[in-house]
Amino acid sequence: MALDFQHLGALSPSGTLVIAALTIIIFAAYHTLWAHKRGMPPLPPGPPPEPLLGHYRIVPQDAAFKRYAEWAKEYESDVLFFQTFGTKWVVLNSLAAATELLEKRGSSYADRPRFVMFEEMGWSPTLTWLRWGPKYHLHRRVLQPPFTKSRVSKYTAHQRKEAIIFCKGLVDNPNDWLISVRRFSVAIVLQIAYGLKVEGPESQWIRLAEDTANAIGKSGAPASSIMDRFPATRYLPSWLPFMERLRYAHTWRPAIQNLTSLPFEASLKSLASGTDNHSFVHSRMGIFNDNAHSGLPNDFGLEDIKGAAATIVIAGNDTTAATMMLLVLYLMQNPDAQRKAQDEVDRVVGGDRLPTWDDIANLPYTNLILQETYRMNPLSSLGIPHASVADDVYNGMFIPKGTVIYPNVWAMTHDESVYTEPFRFWPERYLSKEQGGNDEPLPVGNFGFGRRICIGRNLAENSLLIVLATMLATVDIDWPLGADGKPTPFEPKWSYRGQATVLPFKASIKSRSAKSKALLDAEVQSSEGGRP
Ligand code: HEM
């Protein structure tokens, strides 16, 4: 008989706790006995679990990637095993393991776990969270083609224009540089998904995207809440002390719903008025309406279009903004790298114009600054988890079907056997020894692995490169001024709940020259409707 948890909210607190505890004990005992099949090789090693709770209290909620990397050394294994309440998870701490399992055996590891907490947050069909199956394939087939390397070139004019508006924002309002960052990242994806424009720093779309970024950015590592580990707990009353993630999900639910609905409705309105803005929504609605008129079925229905458009904004906005903040941070902390990159841009572009797309291929050091930024702080330090669809054996270790797989990208990009002084920002490390570098490999994993690799990576990389080149051409970035009027270094603060991001910080941003400022002003002036 299925358990009915719906009525639990009406129970007294002590009754609820007793039922919750009993249910957890039964499930945990059952799954612990089941986890290891007879006759199979041993499970990967890991710290010993606690009775019944397994590893629930052992793995830290914050910055778990660092602890996993330490355990990998302690247990001398790049693959570690954990379990709690019947959920099993494996952490891959080396690129070799991630490449073998997520790339080479990719089809066996292309599922996602169920993101119960995100379900509580009210997401519509979103490629990122969809389980491996027909719905997933349909969404990937629709969303991937517009973002291939060749197809993203159609967005480059828009990206360059926004990069120039961004840098003008930095020069005109340096103290509000974070608003300019948010404006840029929203403007790119909102235009592509819905054909909507961000008219200025006060735009409702910036606020909406900010809310959603907050909702997702601080929601904890994906699939790691008690609800994800043990889905029945979603029906417990949210006032219980250990259900803070459920409270969080309900608090942010309206933000997710607004982001999914409001821009979609605005885009439909502009379509109804007869304007085709060539956005994702307009092109999908064209197909949808044509099919409807011809009496053909629409596999990709209205909810799918709505969910897929929101995916572009949700997946593309905060990731781009967070990487831009890292670029500003690392340029500020590393004046030598900043000067060297500025010299490169000056040499290639000259002082009479701003960088264009043709220049990007001729800016290798600028490109390495971006690569080193990816390596220093992979935003999804533990990736977005995959899940295995079949039993497997790797290096003599058994990985059961249905195991959640976390690639520890941070451990990979800080592996001392690959990167000398991994905590040092040193873009030259990728150059050959003859060029003064150390022949180290470019970082891998920032955009994920295998079948689930980020579909927006080409778009994001283009955004970041044109923004970086334009910043280098037009502004100097330094530590903020202290009370004595001198640049004053400080230790930045970080958040490791959800994405690994640097928290908002102050920087001193100044125009490089009257000429570079005039170039920005002139380009913004001449670009149609461009407003900082
Ligand atoms: C710096 C920017 C970005 C970073 C660091 C980033 C990172 C990631 C990562 C780590 C994943 C998980 C991959 C995996 O499971 O193996 C992912 C998936 C995804 N990304 Fe991005 N991303 C960025 C920008 C974008 C943009 C601009 C878009 C939209 C066009 C986008 C759309 C997606 C989607 C739809 C998925 C889910 C793919 C799937 O599950 O099949 N991302 N991204």
pLDDT of residue 177: 96
Q: What is the DSSP letter of 38?
A: T
Give the residue whose CA is nearest to atom 42 of ligand 1: 456
Dihedral over alpha carbons 270, 127, 139, 203 (to 10 degrees)? 10
| Token couple for 455 | 């579909």
pLDDT of residue 11: 43
Side-chain half-sphere exposure of 378, counting CA atoms within 13 A: 25
pLDDT per position in the chain (532 positions), as tens?
A: 333 333 333 345 455 555 555 555 555 555 544 555 667 899 999 999 999 889 989 999 889 999 999 999 999 999 999 998 888 999 999 999 999 999 999 999 999 998 888 888 887 678 998 999 999 999 999 999 999 999 999 999 999 999 999 999 999 999 999 999 999 999 999 999 999 999 877 788 988 888 888 787 777 777 778 888 788 888 898 888 888 888 988 888 998 889 889 999 999 999 999 888 889 999 999 999 999 999 999 999 999 999 999 999 989 999 999 999 999 999 999 999 999 999 999 999 999 999 999 999 999 999 999 999 999 999 999 999 999 999 999 999 999 999 999 999 999 999 999 999 999 999 999 999 999 999 999 999 999 999 999 999 999 999 999 999 999 999 999 999 999 999 999 999 999 877 899 999 999 999 999 999 999 999 999 875 544 3
pLDDT of residue 21: 54
| Token couple for 275 | 């304007």
**Identity at 464, one-letter amino acid code:** L
Give the residue whose CA is nearest to atom 30 of ligand 1: 456
The ligand 1 atom nearest the CA atom of 378: 5
Ligand 1 proximal residues by C-beta, below 6 Å:
127-128, 140, 143, 147, 311-312, 315-316, 319-320, 323, 379-380, 383-384, 386, 446-449, 452-456, 459-460
d(CA 31, CA 25): 10
pLDDT of residue 68: 97
Q: Are strands 87-92 and 404-407 parallel, antiparallel or unpaired?
A: parallel
pLDDT of residue 203: 87
- CA–centroid distance, 447 to ligand 1, in Å, is 6
Q: Give Cα separations from 172 to 392, 394, 464, 517 (angstroms).
A: 57, 56, 21, 9
In terms of Cβ atoms closer than 10 Å to its own Cβ (0-12, 13-18, 19+), residue 344 is buried
Q: Which of left, alpha, beta for 85 (phi over 0: left; psi -120 to 50: alpha)? A: left
Three-state DSSP class for residue 408: coil
Beta bridge partners of 299: none
d(CA 371, CA 443): 7
pLDDT of residue 14: 53
Give the residue whose CA is nearest to atom 9 of ligand 1: 447
| Token couple for 27 | 């499930």
pTM: 0.91
d(CA 168, CA 521): 7
